Amino acid sequence: MFPLVPTLFLADVITIPPPTSGRRYLTQSQEIRPLPGQLNEIPVFNSNSPEVVKAEGILLSTFPPTAKKFPNAHLNLPISGQFDFFSHHIARPINKQQTLYQGVLIYNPSSQPVTLNILQGLSYVTSPDAPFRELPPTVEDPQGQVFSGPGSRLAGDILRGRHQRTFAEQIRIGPQQTQMLFSLPIPTASARSTYLRLQSDGPVHLANLVRFGTSTRFPSLPNLPGLPISPVSSLQMTGLGQWQDLLNIGRLAEPRDVIPTLQENVYSGEKVYGRVAGVSVGSQWRGTVVDRPGMNVLTIPYRGYAFSYPLSTVATATLGTQQIQSAPLLARYPDTAIRAHGNYGVQYHLTLPLYNPTPQPQRVSLLIQTPFKQNVASNRLTFIDRPEGQVFFRGTVRFTYADDLGQTQQRYFHLVQRQGQQGESLITLNLPPGGSRSVDVELIYPPDATPPQVLTIKTLDSDAG
């Protein structure tokens, strides 16, 4: 079995549980700054509700509601140009002998043919592709072989630019015609995480569907990367017709997730963020992290001090910055999240032009940390000396920079952090007096993470090694 990530609940103003087992809290006094940059305007077909699927139906459809038995299951939103596809769902059928299949349809509503290019495509299932396993908090991973769970593996491989041949490079869709984008199984009690980067030369509608199939062996099928050759269902083989029938007569898949709280800035009580089923706006967050707008350097902290920038903030966990990074939604179902909370699958690309203004050489470390979430204090972070319980972040971070010899280094670290975890120094740079060094920090926010995290820049004490 693998750990479930619970539905996100709105935090109280400060969400710090009482200490247990003799653990003690650690409060760091340091500035927390809003993260420079912004989301781009790339639409994302964003399917994460219901996360746990027990009954077949429609997970997310942007098809027109015309001639559909359940019109409320269709959001009627065409997408064109560059867009992304993200889905993360867990199969837990009542009849455990059944296999759940995920099928994605794509429809061309226009009078001209449309070409869809799949620029990058990856999909992993918990077993056998990416089982959850215990890993150290920090592992340097130059080859991309370290992961725990499908979200962790997916995020790391997207970052590395990998692509599975499971997905066709191009699909041609005739006028008013529908094609299969893909159809893949989700084994019982497993999760499947999928991310595609797409380019269409005309408007299209998409639908993400799930239904059960009877297993039948087809040993002549080509082996799909990360997927077993058999059993493969007859449903998967017969393809388009049955999926179109489900689209036309199916209702929204069940069970439905907890209905979210609609007011974003509610700070007390057990308010619910909910899970996402809609089209969000923003596939990447790019920013150059400088002292203030108009500047071109990031002045390092005083020796022995640090400052931090939040990552993936949500409405009531901005760490005092009042900056909500969650992507807005163009369309959604009424019982699902009002923003893409957590920004699952969003690529953060941050450039830090570090500058040492002092007459002494300085050593600067960069860390990723997972403090306790709060919404009021921008001058401190709270951690705990022995983090326990649920993992809040499993994923890969990439650092690109020039070393002391001027050679470009690109280093990958896989991180596992629990709530209140201070994290470890990932890279340390030597800056001469008046010197500068630019660092690129990149990550794909993993589907099974819980926000927020922070990127911390710290200038070490003089006696630090």
**How confident is the model over 308-348, as pLDDT tens digits?**
999 999 988 999 999 999 999 999 999 999 999 999 999 99
Alpha carbons 163 and 156: distance in angstroms, whole number? 12
Return mean pLDDT, the chain.
89
Task: Give DSSP secondary structure letters for 401-460.
Answer: EE-TTS-EEEEEEEEEEETTB-----EEEEE-TT-EEEEEEEEEPPTT--S-EEEEEEEP
134 to each of 127, 131, 162, 394, how far by Cα in Å?
15, 10, 24, 11
pLDDT attached to residue 464: 43
More confidently predicted of 404 and 463:
404
CA angle 316, 322, 327 (to 5 degrees): 75
More confidently predicted of 64 and 93:
64
More confidently predicted of 357 and 166:
357
pLDDT tens sequence across 187-242:
999 999 999 999 999 999 999 999 998 544 333 323 333 333 233 333 443 479 99
Mean pLDDT of 88-115: 94
Residue 98 confidence class, pLDDT cut points 50, 70, 90: confident
Alpha carbons 338 and 252: distance in angstroms, whole number? 18
Alpha carbons 276 and 333: distance in angstroms, whole number? 9
Residue 125 structure tokens: 């299932």
Alpha carbons 191 and 89: distance in angstroms, whole number? 5
Mean pLDDT of 75-104: 94
Alpha carbons 160 and 411: distance in angstroms, whole number? 11
Residue 261 confidence class, pLDDT cut points 50, 70, 90: confident
Least confident range of 93-102, 333-342, 449-458: 93-102
Closest CA to 301 of 309, 310, 293: 309
Alpha carbons 395 and 149: distance in angstroms, whole number? 10
pLDDT attached to residue 230: 30
Residue 369 structure tokens: 């940390």
With H, G, I as helix, E, B as strand and everything else as coil, classify residue 305.
coil
Residue 108 structure tokens: 């061309």
Alpha carbons 447 and 48: distance in angstroms, whole number? 9
Closest CA to 224 of 214, 236, 242, 213: 236
> Is residue 99 within 8 Å of 105, Cβ to Cβ?
no
Mean pLDDT of 415-433: 97
pLDDT attached to residue 253: 97
Q: What is the pTM of this model?
A: 0.90
Alpha carbons 130 and 154: distance in angstroms, whole number? 9
pLDDT attached to residue 236: 46
pLDDT attached to residue 448: 87
